[in-house]
């Protein structure tokens, strides 16, 4: 489907499994199609309730929760914002987010490395969506699985931090291709990590020229206004 071969990759022998070599491909296709259909149902539910939903993806520790908290603080909309916190087993992030005054619901996925549209449809039945304007969905920390499972969100924000090193973007083209907005977080540590933000931005632009690329320091709230603007939250706010 996506063809992305980084420079230099063909200078050596590379083994890439072809369709028939992946034995569960049919099951996969079926699963993805069902997820897509459910995502469309979720989107209709959001639109009926005039809710804008944002899927927040990225590695464990990239700063997803911190950035959501910073956005909530800046929006200052209290209980008019809801957050679904996806995590394997804990409720740590839900507790952290609750402090910002938003309505929070936790989904524990157990061994699953991503949320899916079915889990979201169950979650939105449990949370009172009356009066909610924005719904943030913090996906499970992972740069591979969540990209393949749309949840019905209107926008997708991918958070990547400089502490993940210089090759994170180029090595994960699929998820960055899904992004509407890419936050390069922990900019305060870029120098110490010897990571070039401009190079990461160039990599992102090659993979997904449409996405906005914003440098952030979630703890200090740097770049958060631009994230809000680029996600279109300002105009959707009233």
Query: Which residues of the chain form contacts with Mg ion (CB under 5 A)?
Result: 64-65, 93
If one asks whether residue 186 binds ligand GDP (CB under 6 A), the answer comes out as yes
If one asks whether residue 146 binds ligand GDP (CB under 6 A), the answer comes out as no
Of 56-64, 105-113, 192-200, 203-211, which part binds ligand GDP (CB under 6 A)? 56-64
Q: How many CB atoms lie within 10 A of CB 193?
A: 14
- Which parts of 79-118 interact with ligand GDP (CB under 6 A)? 93
The nearest distance, CB 90 to ligand GDP, in angstroms, is: 11
If one asks whether residue 182 binds ligand GDP (CB under 6 A), the answer comes out as no
Q: How many CB atoms lie within 10 A of CB 113?
A: 15
For ligand GDP (CB under 6 A), the number of binding residues is 17
Question: Distance between CA 23 and CA 18 in Å, rounded?
Answer: 10
The nearest distance, CB 162 to ligand GDP, in angstroms, is: 9
Give the torsion sign (CA, 141, 147, 149, 154). Answer: positive
Give φ, ψ of 166 to 5 degrees. -80, -10
If one asks whether residue 65 binds ligand GDP (CB under 6 A), the answer comes out as yes
If one asks whether residue 147 binds ligand GDP (CB under 6 A), the answer comes out as no
The nearest distance, CB 82 to ligand GDP, in angstroms, is: 17
> Measuring CA to CA, which residue among 51, 111, 48, 44 is closest to residue 84?
51
The nearest distance, CB 78 to ligand GDP, in angstroms, is: 21
> Measuring CA to CA, which residue among 168, 197, 182, 164 is closest to residue 227?
182
Sort 78 into a burial class: Cβ within 10 Å, 0-12 / 13-18 / 19+: exposed
Residues that bind ligand GDP in the complex, under the rule CB under 6 A: 58, 60-66, 93, 141, 185-186, 188-189, 217-219
């Amino acid at each position: 489907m996506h063809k992305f071969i980084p420079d230099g990759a063909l200078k050596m022998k590379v083994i890439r499994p072809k369709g028939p070599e992946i034995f569960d491909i049919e099951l996969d296709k079926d699963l993805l199609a069902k997820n897509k259909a459910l995502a469309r149902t979720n989107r209709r539910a959001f639109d009926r309730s005039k809710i804008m939903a944002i899927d927040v993806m990225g590695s464990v520790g990239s700063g997803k929760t911190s950035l959501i908290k910073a956005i909530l603080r800046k929006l200052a909309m209290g209980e008019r914002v809801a957050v679904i916190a996806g995590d394997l087993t804990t409720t740590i992030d839900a507790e952290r987010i609750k402090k910002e005054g938003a309505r929070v619901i936790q989904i524990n996925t157990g061994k699953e490395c991503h949320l899916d549209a079915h889990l979201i449809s169950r979650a939105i039945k449990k949370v009172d969506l009356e009066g909610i304007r924005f719904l943030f969905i913090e996906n499970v920390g992972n740069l591979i699985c969540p990209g393949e499972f749309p949840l019905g969100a209107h926008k997708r924000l991918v958070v990547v931090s400089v502490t993940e090193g210089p090759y994170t973007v180029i090595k994960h083209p699929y998820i960055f291709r899904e992004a509407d907005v890419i936050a390069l977080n922990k900019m305060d540590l870029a120098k110490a990590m010897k990571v070039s933000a401009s190079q990461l931005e160039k990599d992102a632009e090659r993979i997904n020229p449409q996405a906005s690329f914003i440098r952030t320091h979630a703890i200090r709230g740097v770049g958060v206004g631009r994230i809000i603007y680029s996600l279109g939250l300002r105009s959707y706010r009233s």
